[in-house]
Amino acid sequence: MGSVGRWVRRVGGADTTFDAARRRRFVRALEADFDWSKLGARLDATERDRARSLWIARMRDEQRAVVAMSQLVADLARLGAPLDVLGAGAAVIHDETRHVDVCERVARALDPARPFRTTPPEMPHHGTLELRHRVVVSVVSLLCVGETLSMSLLRAARDHCDDEVTTDVLEGLLADESIHSRFGWWWLETPQGELRDDERPKVARMLARLFARLDRSLGAEAPCVGDAMGAPPSLVRRDVFHAVLHDTILPRLEAHGIAARAAWCDRALREAA
């Protein structure tokens, strides 16, 4: 422990070091609330291996969310966003780091004898885009589209899950993701976040490319069977994707003056360009 830590501990009487405070916040609910010994109790070896792969993939998605959200909050700070926006954004980063942790714990608990790498995946950095445009693109793609979809897919995963511990973990992730998607829509409502006329067509072009990628991975009838340990069956996933896209995401983007329905129709065109 460094000298500052010792000083704080002496003055306060209780353990008020940064490390203790950080651990209290970070591990809350993770170690205490889940009985890892019951995880996947009914699985055979093949199912256990498939579930482990799924949770490793989910952990990597959460690692991407940490990086993307950290970049977005840094850009919002550079843009001069209000302090409550920055505080809310920092809370989202904190949530995503806990998600990495809990996904990693699920994967490890499914096969403690097999270690795996936790190095962050490669991420593109859109440093060449103008600052405000970077923020607009990230808010719309990462939060309004990504988090809204993620919330609905997690809900479907929870509803099809037949493992008690995994259901509890999904419930925790779901509670956070619903707040994350609201953060994006909230920013677009603020005076600073409101889209300008010249930004809307650029956002629509970005959306056409994003929709093409999402349609390929979520909208098709992928021949995967889903998993009762945390992934909805593929047909359910496809139906959820189309329902949330057409009933929620496209109308809400249209309400902000973005030609989102046209972007959906243009998705194949844009991908080919």
Q: Which residues bind Fe ion (CB under 5 A)?
A: 62, 65, 96, 99, 177, 180
Instruction: Report the DSSP beta bridge partners of residue 227.
Output: 231
Residue 62 Cβ vs Fe ion, minimum distance, rounded to whole Å: 5
Q: Which is nearer to Fe ion, 96 or 266 (CB)?
A: 96
Question: Cβ of residue 176: shortest distance to Fe ion, in angstroms?
Answer: 6
Q: Give the contacts of 40 (CB within 8 A, at least 6 positions apart).
A: 47, 48, 51, 109, 110, 163, 165, 166, 229
Q: Give CA–CA dist 241/267, Å, rounded.
A: 15
Nearer to Fe ion, 65 or 88 (CB): 65
Between the alpha carbon of residue 88 and those of residues 21, 162, 181, 199, the distances in Å are 19, 33, 12, 24
Residue 252 CB, nearest approach to Fe ion (Å): 17
When the beta carbons of 55 and 208 are compared against Fe ion, the nearer one is 55
**Are 226 and 232 a contacting pair, CB within 8 Å?**
yes
**Direct distance between the N- and C-terminal alpha carbons of the chain, in angstroms, rounded to an integer:** 56
Q: How far is CA 94 from CA 73, 149, 180, in A?
A: 12, 20, 11
Q: How far is CA 144 from CA 53, 88, 248, in A?
A: 27, 15, 10
Question: Shortest Cβ distance from residue 98 to Fe ion (Å)?
Answer: 8
Query: Rounded to the nearest whole angstrom, what is the least distance from the CB of residue 91 to Fe ion in the complex?
Result: 11
Query: Which is nearer to Fe ion, 147 or 227 (by Cβ)?
Result: 147
Closer residue to Fe ion in complex, CB, 25/42: 25
